């Protein structure tokens, strides 16, 4: 093989073009498609997914990878080859029969869960869930087997799919600090914070959309290369030159959709800033979800919720939403930064959210490593909720261990990225504050160009050319350190600094 690496580049770019099709078919399904279109859409998506899998796992790819390893490649191409191997290995290590069994068990468990959650029916759920766990353990075992030197435990092999490069030992150590410090910090915050007003009112969705778009422009979103639309749950997707985010507007509340828009704008920024020269190749993709979520949470928690930015936004909110004019900037900021322990993760504030994640991380790690069984979950959940947040979920499965969709289809290893993202966001923004001492004044003018430029250089343009912790070290001087996040919470919630 003359140029095995060149042949791999062509193969992976072909896969990326199919991925483009899947990306926009999926977007359309969630945003545009009328309900009766689902069958033909599902069949088309399954077909393209199968073609993609076949192209990636064809024997020639293995041969090309082996040949490319002996080629004289420059450092960037070696890096690119490493990421190709990573994706290829992830695709070839599972037998088709397992993938199919997981897909079936996952769909069945997820589908039934939608009703079982409403019915508070843990027994019904666990009957399906045992099979999902059994198959995920098998998946973890197989993924660990092909790269035994990389994964210390079976759980690490699943975690790697989302938190690539950040292993469970490292995450566990970082989370231990949060577990030790957050409950005390939370108690202090609750003691000191003044009560926040309710923002309830009537806010026409069309006006909320115009407001969201105006804010997105301030946050640097380029509408000649992207869109904002409406879907049930907010998400972000796209490809080069076409970055699409969604949010969901509720007539009685504008804050949720606006905050979600800021969050998704961060995700879209990362995607738009990925290195153009690596378009279509694995090395050109976002590094991992711990960094992806750090970009969305930086936009959400560090920019959108910052007091100077809320001050900037207040007249804009007043302009578009008549009923919001009752609320002063001070009241808006207090409402947006309300803190309090609650049972539901997705409704949690930035102080309590990590404790929800630590709980899930501990349980899913033990579950996949076969230290506990599915039937042990409700008791453990209640115990940890009481320890971390002082709330009980005994008998309340609906608002306890049945609240999330992730485990129902076997997505174990996803949860930690939410909190790793929050920590990385605080640490990156601390570095930005050191570089730009005038950050408060800039935010108060609605100017975030300095943030986008710095993140573009330090994170977005790196793609997957470096490991996650190396990107953090190069950008901030150290790997993920929960101290910055705790400092941020103290500054905002104890000392009202921003």
18 binds a copy of itself (CB under 8 A): yes
240 binds a copy of itself (CB under 8 A): yes
Closest distance to a copy of itself from the beta carbon of 256 (Å)? 25
CB-CB contact of 289 with 257 (8 Å) = no
14 binds a copy of itself (CB under 8 A): yes
In the complex with a copy of itself, the residue whose CB is nearer, 26 or 342, is: 26
Site of tokens 């042990």: 376
The span from the CA of 67 to the CA of 393, in Å, is: 56
**Max intra-chain CA distance, the chain:** 71
In the complex with a copy of itself, the residue whose CB is nearer, 19 or 214, is: 19
Question: Which regions of 156-240 does DSSP assign to beta strands (E)?
Answer: 226-230, 236-239
In the complex with a copy of itself, the residue whose CB is nearer, 17 or 100, is: 17
Active site residue 379: no
Positive or negative torsion for Cα 138, 165, 243, 441: positive
Catalytic residue among 83, 264, 300, 350: 264
Closest distance to a copy of itself from the beta carbon of 241 (Å)? 4
CB-CB contact of 201 with 244 (8 Å) = no
Question: Which of 17, 217, 386, 445 touches a copy of itself by CB under 8 A?
Answer: 17
Question: Which of 180, 190, 223, 405 touches a copy of itself by CB under 8 A?
Answer: 223
All residues at 6 or more sequence positions from 179 whose CB lies less than 8 Å from its CB, including other chains: 355, 358, 388
Is 293 within any annotated ligand binding site? yes
Closest distance to a copy of itself from the beta carbon of 50 (Å)? 9
In the complex with a copy of itself, the residue whose CB is nearer, 21 or 142, is: 21
The span from the CA of 450 to the CA of 4, in Å, is: 41
Tell which positions 245-304 bind a copy of itself, by CB under 8 A.
279
Size of interface with a copy of itself, in residues (CB under 8 A): 36
Closest distance to a copy of itself from the beta carbon of 24 (Å)? 6
Q: In this chain, which stretch among 237-245, 322-330, 352-360, 418-426 interacts with a copy of itself, using CB under 8 A?
A: 237-245
- What would the x/- binding string for a copy of itself be over residues 22 to 61, using CB under 8 A? --xx--x---xxxxxxxxxx-xx-xxx--x----------
Q: Running DSSP on this structure, what letter comes out for residue 466?
A: S
Tell which positions 67-96 bind a copy of itself, by CB under 8 A.
none
Q: DSSP assignment of 102-154, as one string?
A: HHHHHHHHHHHHHHHHHTT-HHHHHHHHHHHHHHHHHHHHHHHHHTTTT-SSH
In the complex with a copy of itself, the residue whose CB is nearer, 37 or 395, is: 37
Is 263 within any annotated ligand binding site? yes
What's the token pair of residue 155? 């759980």
In the complex with a copy of itself, the residue whose CB is nearer, 227 or 338, is: 227
Angstrom distances, CA of residue 406 to CA of 87, 113, 399, 415: 22, 11, 15, 8
Question: Which of 138, 167, 213, 242 touches a copy of itself by CB under 8 A?
Answer: 242
Is 318 within any annotated ligand binding site? no
Question: Which regions of 173-259 does DSSP assign to beta strands (E)?
Answer: 226-230, 236-239, 242-247
Give me the phi and psi of 408, to 5 degrees please: -60, -30
Residue 162 class from Cβ within 10 Å (0-12 exposed, 13-18 middle, 19+ buried)? Answer: buried
Interacting residue ranges for a copy of itself, rule: CB under 8 A:
14, 17-18, 20-21, 24-25, 28, 32-41, 43-44, 46-48, 51, 222-227, 238-242, 279
Which residues fall in the annotated binding site? 263, 267, 293
The residues annotated with a catalytic role in the active site are 264
Binding residues for Zn(2+): 263, 267, 293
């Amino acid at each position: 093989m003359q140029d095995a690496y060149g042949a791999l580049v062509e193969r992976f770019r072909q896969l990326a073009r199919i991925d483009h099709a899947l990306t926009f078919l999926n977007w359309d399904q969630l945003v545009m498609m009328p309900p009766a279109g689902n069958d033909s859409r599902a069949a088309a998506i399954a077909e393209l997914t199968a073609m993609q899998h076949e192209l990636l796992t064809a024997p020639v790819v293995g041969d090309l990878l082996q040949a490319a390893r002996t080629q004289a490649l420059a450092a960037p191409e070696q890096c690119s080859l490493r990421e190709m191997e990573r994706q290829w290995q992830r695709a070839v290590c599972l037998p088709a029969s397992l993938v199919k069994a997981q897909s079936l068990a996952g769909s069945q468990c997820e589908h039934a869960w939608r009703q079982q959650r409403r019915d508070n029916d843990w027994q019904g759920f666990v009957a399906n869930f045992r099979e999902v766990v059994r198959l995920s353990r098998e998946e973890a075992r197989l993924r660990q087997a092909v790269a035994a030197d990389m994964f210390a435990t079976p759980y690490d092999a699943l975690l790697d799919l989302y938190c690539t490069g950040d292993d469970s030992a490292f995450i566990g150590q970082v989370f231990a600090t949060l577990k030790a410090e957050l409950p005390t910090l939370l108690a202090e915050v609750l003691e000191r914070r003044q009560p926040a007003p309710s923002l309830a009112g009537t806010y026409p969705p069309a006006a909320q959309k115009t407001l969201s778009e105006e804010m997105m422009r301030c946050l640097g979103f380029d509408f000649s290369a992207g869109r904002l639309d409406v879907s049930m749950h907010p998400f972000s997707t796209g490809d080069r030159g076409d970055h699409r985010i969604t949010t969901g507007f509720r007539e009685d509340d504008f804050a949720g959709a606006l905050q979600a828009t800021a969050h998704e704008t961060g995700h879209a920024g990362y995607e738009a800033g990925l290195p153009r020269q690596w378009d279509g190749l694995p090395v050109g993709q976002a590094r991992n979800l711990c960094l992806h979520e750090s970009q969305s949470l930086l936009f959400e928690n560090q920019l959108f919720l910052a007091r100077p930015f809320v001050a900037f936004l207040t007249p804009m909110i007043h302009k578009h939403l008549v009923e919001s004019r009752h609320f002063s900037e001070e009241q808006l900021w207090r409402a947006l930064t309300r803190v309090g322990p609650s049972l539901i993760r997705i409704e949690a504030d930035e102080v309590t959210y990590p404790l929800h994640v630590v709980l899930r991380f501990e349980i899913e790690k033990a579950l996949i490593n076969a230290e506990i069984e599915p039937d042990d979950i409700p008791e453990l959940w209640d115990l940890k909720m009481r320890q971390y947040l002082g709330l009980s979920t005994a008998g309340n499965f609906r608002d306890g261990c049945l609240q999330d969709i992730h485990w129902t289809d076997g997505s174990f290893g996803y949860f930690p990225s939410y909190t790793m993202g929050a920590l990385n966001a605080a640490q990156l923004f601390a570095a930005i504050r050191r570089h730009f001492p005038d950050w408060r004044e800039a935010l108060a003018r609605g100017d975030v160009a300095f943030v986008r430029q710095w993140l573009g250089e330090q994170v977005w343009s790196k793609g997957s050319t470096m490991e996650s912790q190396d990107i953090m070290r190069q950008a901030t001087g150290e790997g993920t350190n929960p101290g910055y996040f705790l400092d941020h919470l103290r500054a905002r919630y104890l000392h009202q600094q921003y």
